[in-house]
Amino acid sequence: IERTFSIIKPDAVRRNLIGNILAVFEKNGLRPVALKKIKMTRAQAEGFYAVHKERPFYGELVESMMSGPVVVQVLEGENAILKNREVMGATNPANAAEGTIRKLYAVSVGENSVHGSDAPETAKEEIKFFFTDDEIV
Ligand code: ATP
Ligand code: MG
């Protein structure tokens, strides 16, 4: 059993899609073991995406993550990291497979509705960025 970190991004929360997206996770064997709705500060958004600091879209990405509330969560399941990446679909919704969250709900590469950790080390770091151990049940 594995854990991964997930964000339901502002574009999806704004369109009232929290429940629909959680349903996709649950249908695919991903169990939310920690979950909270927050509004990211600039420091949180910049820190979370620090790996993308040099990318041309960094400023836009930070602004968009601060543009409204998000749902941060820890998802648990068999091969949760890879499973979550599959269920999310390609970064650009134009390339996302049928039935994936980004195919169903994303608007554009910038407003692509969800984030998911890409590897065990990043999952661990990202979970720690938003949750304490006692919040994970
Ligand atoms: P995430 O890390 O959010 O799960 P990802 O791993 O599929 O997504 P990354 O390459 O890590 O994609 O990019 C992080 C985020 O930056 C993307 O989810 C997207 O919202 C945004 N992004 C990526 N490329 C672009 C782009 N060309 N223009 C605008 N935003 C972008
Ligand atoms: Mg990524």
* C-alpha distance from residue 78 to each of 18, 35, 109 (Å): 23, 19, 28
| Residue 117 Cα: closest atom of ligand 1 | 4
Per-residue pLDDT of the chain (137 residues; tens, 9 = 90+): 999 999 999 999 999 999 999 999 999 999 999 999 999 999 999 999 999 999 999 999 999 999 999 999 999 999 999 999 999 999 999 999 999 999 999 999 999 999 999 999 999 999 999 999 999 99
The ipTM is 0.93
Q: pTM here?
A: 0.97
Q: Which of 109, 117, 118, 125 to mutate to test the pocket of ligand 1 (most atoms within 8 A of CB)?
A: 109
Contact 99, 136 (CB under 8 A): no
CA 68 to chain centre: 14
41 is in an annotated binding site: no
Residue 123: other Cβ atoms inside 10 A: 22
